[in-house]
Amino acid sequence: MKKIWIYARTSTKDKQDLETQLLPLREYSKARGFEIYKEYTDKISGAKENRDSLDLLLDDAKKRKIDWVLVFRFDRFSRSTKQLINTLELFDNLWIDFISYSENIDTSSPAGKVLFTMISAFSEFERSIIQERVKAWLEKARKKWKKLWRPWVSTDVKKIVELKEKWLSFREIAKKLKLKKSNVYNKYKEHKTNLV
Would the pLDDT of 19 be above 70? yes
3-state secondary structure the chain: CEEEEEEEEECCCCCCCCHHHHHHHHHHHHHHCEEEEEEEEEECCCCCCCCHHHHHHHHHHHCCCCCEEEECCHHHHCCCHHHHHHHHHHHHHCCCEEEECCCCEECCCHHHHHHHHHHHHHHHHHHHHHHHHHHHHHHHHHHHHHHHCCCCCCCCHHHHHHHHCCCCCHHHHHHHHCCCHHHHHHHHHHHHHHHC
Per-residue confidence band for 28, with pLDDT thresholds at 50, 70 and 90:
very high
Looking at the fold, whether 88 and 173 belong to one and the same domain comes out as: no
Looking at the fold, whether 161 and 104 belong to one and the same domain comes out as: no
Would the pLDDT of 14 be above 90? no
CA distance 56 to 40: 8
φ/ψ bin of 59: left (φ > 0), alpha (ψ from -120 to 50), beta (otherwise): alpha
Would the pLDDT of 53 be above 70? yes
**Residue 98 included in any domain:** yes
Would the pLDDT of 146 be above 70? no
Q: Yes or no: say if 43 and 13 are a contact pair by the CB < 8 Å rule.
A: no
Closest by CA position to 66, among listed 28, 92, 103:
92
CA distance 111 to 167: 86
**Residue 14 included in any domain:** yes
Q: Yes or no: say if 160 and 175 are a contact pair by the CB < 8 Å rule.
A: no
- pLDDT for 105 equals 85
- pLDDT for 50 equals 67
What positions carry a catalytic annotation?
Answer: 11
**Residue 75 included in any domain:** yes
Per-residue confidence band for 155, with pLDDT thresholds at 50, 70 and 90:
low
Would the pLDDT of 123 be above 70? no
**Residue 146 included in any domain:** no
- Residue-range definition of the domain harbouring residue 163: 157-195
Higher pLDDT, 187 or 196: 187
Read off the pTM: 0.57
State what percent of residues in the chain have pLDDT above 70.
Answer: 86
Q: Yes or no: say if 78 and 92 are a contact pair by the CB < 8 Å rule.
A: no
**Residue 145 included in any domain:** no
Report the domain count for the chain. Answer: 2
